[in-house]
Amino acid sequence: MKFISILAVFLLISPFINAQALVYKPVNPAFGGDTFNYQWLLSSAEAQNKQKDKTAETKEQTDLERFKANLNSQLLSQISSTLYKQQFGTDGIKEGSYTFGSYSVDVYPSADGLTLNILDTNTGEQTQVIIPNQ
């Protein structure tokens, strides 16, 4: 009897039952979601971030500090220009080995252009600079 009553209820309701397709739409724009969600996701992530940006915490330089840094930069540029002219002359960089304090510079031509190997004899750090052919 119970089975017949359940079947009768199911048959009476069945014409009114509708179904639809379930479609997944991602929220994140990186995975195909709506691009207008980007700002909301970013602000939500920043609100949850407990780490501080150390570069943003740098204090504003005063006019005197900026003047000091600018003067320092100009003096170092002038000294480096003088050293360059003393070492290489007015003709520019030529092949050979040069020493600037604790730096050893080897200059030689290569397929890519003029190659400079720079070695810091104190620390052993080494770098290479390639000046392309014109």
Q: 107: which strand partners? A: 96, 116
- pLDDT tier, 126 (very low <50, low <70, confident <90, very high otherwise): very high
Give residue for tokens 């002219």: 85
- The reported pLDDT for the residue numbered 56 is 66
Among 98, 96, 103, CA closest to 122: 103
Amino acid at site 16: F
Summarize the confidence of residues 24-48 as an average pLDDT. 87
**Which stretches of the chain are assigned E, i.e. beta strand?**
96-100, 103-109, 113-120, 126-132
Global pTM value: 0.39
Provide the 8-state DSSP code for 29: G
Summarize the confidence of residues 80-105 as an average pLDDT. 78
- What is the CA 25 to chain-centroid distance, rounded? 31
Structure tokens at 106: 């080897």
